[in-house]
Structure 1
Amino acid sequence: MKAAAIAAIALAAVMLSSIGAVPSYAQLQDPITLSADKEEPYAAGETVTVTGQVARSLQGAIAVLVSAPNGNRAFVDQVTLGDDNTFEFSFTAGGPQWMEAGTYTIKATYGPTAERAVSGTATIEFTGGAPAPAPEPEPEPEPASPVDPVLAGIEFDIVGGEVVSIAPGTGAPSILITINAEEDGMITLTIPRSILDSRTEGQEGDDVPFSVLVNDEIADATEDSTPTTRTLVIEFSAGDGQVIEVIGSFIIPEFGAVAVVVLAAAIVAIVAIGSRSRLGIMPRY
């Protein structure tokens, strides 16, 4: 009887010791393995990509925490485990929490509860500082206006083509509009009266319609007017290098001055050429 009691006590002691030796759930699991996409230090603004793997699938998401060398949180996130027990996440090395250079610790924790969770860590090196600000793009230069500076103030709107140039005409008070047209279209010209006008007596008198030529052929135009402007709508056919001429009774006075200068220069050139010609044929004695 006494021997049986001693045996029972010994068996109970063995059972109790075995119960106390059962490892926790976390101890039964392999830790999470983590690896960054490179071993070299990361500079401010670079993207860090981390891959990980767990031994078996559990419940819940994977919590990610990146700590700075001073212990501050630099990045926090949650990721989902894939069907193959792997996961991946990315973050940018930079920002207010990334000013300090040194070793940053990445920790991933996975499990349904804190008592049954597994974790793993990895480290990366960071050079510190904020990324250099991106240079501001230089503004694109505005396209040069096709309107001659002397005619500044003339506005246009074209459908079906593009305006190559708007320049003063020669001879009659007129302007020349050169266009390239991919298809039949129209151009609307708004002309200040101070630049070009069409009246019964030059710059005075009643309004009369402008004369409009398209490639030296008479063309119709729809006109509208205000006390300060004349507006014309002119239709054209497809074709490149077309010239529209709008002829009035008055053109900005500067054109007259320019014409005088050009004429004077031409006369001087003609006289000079004539003088050289006469000198060349004079007999020599």
Structure 2
Amino acid sequence: MTAVGTLTMSSAYAQACVGCEETDAGRKAANQMLLMDIPISVWTDRTIYDHNDKITVHGKVANISGNPVILTVASPLNSVVTIAQIDVNNDGSFETTLNTEGGLWKHDGTYTIKVNYGASQNNKALVELTGETSASSDNCSSSELYLKGDYCVPYSISSGMVTGASINNNDNSIIVRISAEQDGILTLTPDESILNGIFMVLVDGQEWDDVEISGNQVTVMFPAGTEKIEVVGTFVIPEFGTIAVMILAVAIISIIAVSAKSRLSIMPRY
């Protein structure tokens, strides 16, 4: 069985490469002996997943007691994502699959998979979940948010982490998604060509008063657990880009011109 997931041991054998295939027969045998000595071990098939993925969890107990393994997954915010009971096979092994779809898995970051067997035997594995939309791009610096259309917005954040950003053309706003375990501060300084006339901020869908707006810079004091901050202005650049807007404008003008010409051609002549 091959395991490349992150493994954290609570015993003296924490450095063992549990489940890894080794070409050296002696090391392979030693690992098997360690598995028999460790009360409970756990590992995953990979270390990094996305939010529409499946995590295969493997493990082994040294002494079978007839009880199931209790598995608990905690999010980067330390909230419980799922709890499951897993039956132990006759050889002491156990296995289950976790689906990362759904709102409870929505945060990017490190998820802790903890297993308990009996009253005192426990271990854990760590995996990373990443989103489809990154908060950065090769075109933007580490202190800038990336928006579709190759736009970069300068920002800073304390006591939190930005996990993604997007443009909301319906409400003339920029949406910033964050992960925050403590109260913190987010500052955005978008260029006026991207977002202009900032007049309101929403935190998790609610109008927020703990805000400072100075010109085209906005500073938001957010509480722990905040997931979404929306900065609303009077204008926001279309998400599909300036060139696309120009092409669309030319197309509309062409359609109007053709329509006008068609109407003229069918008018009766006297």
Q: One fold, TM greater than 0.5?
A: no
TM-score of Structure 1 vs Structure 2, range by shorter chain: 0.3 to 0.5
**TM-score (norm: length of structure 2):** 0.34
More helix by share: 1
Structure with higher Rg: it is 1
